[in-house]
Amino acid sequence: MNRNEQKEPDHIANHVYVTPMKLVKNMDDMMQWDKSEAYFEYLGFIYAINDSIRGKSNSQGSANASEEINKLVGVLDTINQWIDDIPPVQQPQRFGNIAFRDFYKKLKDQAIPLLQTIFPEYLYRAIPEIMVYLVEGFGNSTRIDYGTGHELSFVMFLCALFKVEYLKPDDQTATACKVFVRYLTLVRRLQVTYRMEPAGSHGVWSLDDYQFVPFIWGSSQFIDNPKFEPTCFLKETVVESYAHEYMFLSCIQYINQVKTGPFPEHSNQLWSISGVSSWSKINGGLIKMYKAEVLSKYPLVQHICFGSLFTLKPTEHTASTRRPRLSGTGPLFPVPVSGSIPSSVGQHSLGFTMPSNNSGPIPAESDEANNQD
């Protein structure tokens, strides 16, 4: 059956889409965020993908990718071509090439027709809501910067595709190993081409100036793989040989390309990770760190857009709650065991600490964090 001739499922036909808006306006709103359907849906999606790619390389996870996955990669390839069409301009300032604003405008203008090329017609009415997460996933055109908040938006875009059933459960592994990996190469090219500033970088105390999620999912790829010890990413030969197959190593390769000086100095947190005894512990600790240092930060959360797919309504979350994509209650991707680290990825914290709000170190195992940067 032709994709555009597919029948619209009843529960999708009855769904009312809305234009997403930024609703976290102050610190009081943060109390709604971490109890909301959106929070648990997003975090549950991080866990679900994390579990689906455990022990799998990019090529293993991309094998037998569906037509929908390949079409998504095609969308990213099209966006990548626009960088060639819109080269950086000559300007006096070192960072923030203003040509990025032209790139971003084209992305915003073309997002609807771009998604129409891959969606069945019955999902066209979902595009004005879903496209917001796609567009926001490539940076800010005013500041010409990119950071974990933009990464978060793209991950929400991917999650939304599951919620509207464009992607199916069997697509989870390839979503990370093929689509997200393609996204990473694209945004890295944007960062270099347009000299984008890191958005809210923690400097040497952060994992990376721009990304966080590929370190989580990338560490899961190494779990139970005896070939790669936690010290492996400190070895240049390993990084160069396997960066194309493992997200974690591709992150290290990129850092090595854009930063100079001793690795322990410019990437202190990552250097500390190499001393942890197992990838399972690293993976569990990174998820806790992500919750504390990204999902609990007001300067980032204030930019999240909420609509019908991701709402600030209190969740009726339980560990086993699962529901049809757009009906019933509870998240599509429930957080396991009421938000704790599932046993499959380890329940231990990282063996290092990091400063928060310049007020001294906090343990990586703590789920509590100050809501200010």
SS3 of the chain: CCHHHCCCCHHHHCCCCCCCEECCCCHHHHHHHCCEHHHHHHHHHHHHHHHHCCCCCHHHHHCCCCHHHHHHHHHHHHHHHHHHHCCCCCCCCCCCCCHHHHHHHHHHHHHHHHHHCCCCHHHHHHHHHHHHHHHHCCCECCCCEECHHHHHHHHHHHHHHHHCCCCCHHHHHHHHHHHHHHHHHHHHHHHHHCCCEECCCCHHHCCCCCCCHHHHHHHHHHCCCCCCCCCHHHCHHHHHHHCCCCHHHHHHHHHHHHCCCCHHHHCHHHHHHCCCCCHHHHHHHHHHHHHHHCCCCHHHHCCCEECCCCCCCECCCCCCCCCCCCCCCCCCCCCHHHHCCCHHHCCCCCCCEEECCCCCEEECCCCCCCCCC
C-alpha to C-alpha distance for 141 and 118, rounded to whole angstroms: 26
| Stretch 261-266: mean pLDDT | 84
Q: Is 27 exposed, middle or buried (0-12, 13-18, 19+ CB in 10 A)?
A: exposed
Per-residue pLDDT, 341: 39
Task: Please give the mean pLDDT across all residues of the chain.
Answer: 85
Per-residue pLDDT, 205: 52
Per-residue pLDDT, 269: 85
Per-residue pLDDT, 8: 77
Per-residue pLDDT, 112: 97
Summarize pLDDT for 195-248 with one digit per residue, the tens: 999 987 555 456 888 999 999 999 999 999 999 999 999 999 999 999 999 999
Per-residue pLDDT, 372: 32
Out of 154-158, 296-300, 331-335, give the one with best mean pLDDT: 154-158
The residue written with tokens 């690795």 in the block is 263
Per-residue pLDDT, 318: 47
- Which pLDDT band holds residue 95 (cuts at 50, 70, 90)? confident
User: Does residue 370 register a pLDDT over 80?
Assistant: no
Per-residue pLDDT, 281: 95
| Stretch 103-107: mean pLDDT | 98
Per-residue pLDDT, 373: 31
Summarize pLDDT for 265-281 with one digit per residue, the tens: 888 888 888 889 999 99
User: Does residue 158 register a pLDDT over 80?
Assistant: yes
Per-residue pLDDT, 199: 87
C-alpha to C-alpha distance for 373 and 357, rounded to whole angstroms: 5
- Which pLDDT band holds residue 317 (cuts at 50, 70, 90)? low
Per-residue pLDDT, 142: 95
The answer to whether 204 touches 269, Cβ cutoff 8 Å, is yes
User: Does residue 361 register a pLDDT over 70?
Assistant: no
Cα dihedral 264→270→274→275 (10° resolution):
80
- Which pLDDT band holds residue 291 (cuts at 50, 70, 90)? very high
Residue 276 CB partners (closer than 8 Å, separation 6+):
230, 282, 285, 350, 351, 352
